[in-house]
């Protein structure tokens, strides 16, 4: 499948979401649930990143005084609204006007389950923005946390580096870049052959490029 870039991308993704909605409700995309995967050791314990639970992210952000979040390629996900209830200032960016309108118009309390009640506090807000993440004048930041989930993997391989660089350029000097890739079935859907080593992260190579180490510390 060839994913268009530039002005045609918004029309493509609007049509993609219309087809998605015609198959039923968008609940699977608003409140997705994935398997647990190891993320990091925090306070001596092996913690997990769970798509429907941002407790670890919220805990680390609070501990280090991080407040602003960019959810790039957000689609219709309600994760930004949940992070706002945890007291953070969140920008949800997507190229599809239809997806942004749907995400902004949803007020289903199930979306709050991304963050457990113990992480919730006042003072947060969420803004939904239509724009291309490659355009660094849109939602330029800087942001303390950038979250991209299953977005950069849609880009053709030669353009993934540009997409990740455009996002990393919006990151504060001290911050978190959370990149989430659905490794195996999704690339097959796009017509890519399975990675020779099995499961993989579609943009893994970018994180080990020399320019990465000049700006970031890998955790």
pLDDT tens by residue, 86-115: 899 999 999 999 999 999 998 877 656 676
Q: Has residue 166 been placed in a domain? A: yes
Range of the domain at 43: 37-215
Would you state the pLDDT for residue 154?
Answer: 84
In sequence order, the 6+-apart residues with CB closer than 8 A to the CB of 37 are 48, 49
| C-beta of residue 144 within 8 angstroms of C-beta of residue 69 | yes
pLDDT surpassing 50 at residue 119: yes
| 0.85 surpassed by pTM | no
Would you state the pLDDT for residue 147?
Answer: 94
Q: Is 46 helix (H, G, I), strand (E, B) or coil?
A: strand
H-helix segments, the chain? 7-22, 27-30, 55-63, 79-85, 97-105, 157-168, 185-189, 210-215
Q: Has residue 15 been placed in a domain? A: no
DSSP H or E stretch at residue 145: strand 143-149
Q: Has residue 126 been placed in a domain? A: yes
**How far is C-alpha 205 from the chain's CA centre?**
18
Would you state the pLDDT for residue 43?
Answer: 52
Q: Has residue 79 been placed in a domain? A: yes
Q: Which of 28-42, 128-142, 174-188 has the highest mean pLDDT?
A: 128-142
pLDDT tens by residue, 31-74: 765 544 445 544 555 444 444 567 788 888 888 999 999 999 99
| C-beta of residue 97 within 8 angstroms of C-beta of residue 10 | yes
Q: Give the domain CATH number at 58.
A: 3.40.50.150
Q: Has residue 32 been placed in a domain? A: no
Look at strands 37-42 and 45-49 and give their pairing.
antiparallel
User: pLDDT band at 152, cuts 50/70/90?
Assistant: confident
Q: Has residue 199 been placed in a domain? A: yes
Would you state the pLDDT for residue 1?
Answer: 55
pLDDT tens by residue, 184-203: 444 444 444 444 444 556 67
Query: How far apart are the C-alpha atoms of 21 and 148, rounded to whole Å?
Result: 22
Count of domains for the chain: 1
Q: Has residue 2 been placed in a domain? A: no
Query: How far apart are the C-alpha atoms of 93 and 59, rounded to whole Å?
Result: 23
Angle, helix 97-105 to helix 7-22, in steps of 10 degrees: 50
pLDDT tens by residue, 203-219: 767 766 555 544 554 33
Would you state the pLDDT for residue 190?
Answer: 47
Would you state the pLDDT for residue 116?
Answer: 66
Q: Is 75 helix (H, G, I), strand (E, B) or coil?
A: coil
DSSP string across 148-187: EESSGGGS-HHHHHHHHHHHHTTEEEEEEEEEE---SHHH
**How far is C-alpha 194 from the chain's CA centre?**
23
Q: Which of 85, 89, 35, 27 is nearest to 55 (CA)?
A: 85
Q: Has residue 132 been placed in a domain? A: yes
CA distances from 155 to 8, 34, 164 (A): 14, 22, 10
Query: How far apart are the C-alpha atoms of 164 and 126, rounded to whole Å?
Result: 23
């Amino acid at each position: 499948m060839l994913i268009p870039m530039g002005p045609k991308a918004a029309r493509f993704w609007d049509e993609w979401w219309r087809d998605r909605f015609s198959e039923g409700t968008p609940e699977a995309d608003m409140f997705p649930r994935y398997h647990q995967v190891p993320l990091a050791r925090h306070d001596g314990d092996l913690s997990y990143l769970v798509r429907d639970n941002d407790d670890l992210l919220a805990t680390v952000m609070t501990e280090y005084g991080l407040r602003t979040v960019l959810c790039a390629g957000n689609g219709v996900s309600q994760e930004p609204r949940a992070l706002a209830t945890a007291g953070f200032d969140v920008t949800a960016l997507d190229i599809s006007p239809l997806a942004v309108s749907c995400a902004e118009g949803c007020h289903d309390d199930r979306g709050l389950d991304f963050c457990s009640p113990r992480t919730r506090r006042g003072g947060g807000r969420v803004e939904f923005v239509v724009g291309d993440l490659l355009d660094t004048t849109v939602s330029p930041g800087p942001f303390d946390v950038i979250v991209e989930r299953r977005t950069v993997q849609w880009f053709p391989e030669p353009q993934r580096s540009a997409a990740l660089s455009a996002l990393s350029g919006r990151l504060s000097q001290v911050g978190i870049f959370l990149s989430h890739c659905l490794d195996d079935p999704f690339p097959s859907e796009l017509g890519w052959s399975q990675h020779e080593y099995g499961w993989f992260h579609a943009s893994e190579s970018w994180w080990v490029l020399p320019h990465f180490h000049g700006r970031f510390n890998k955790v």
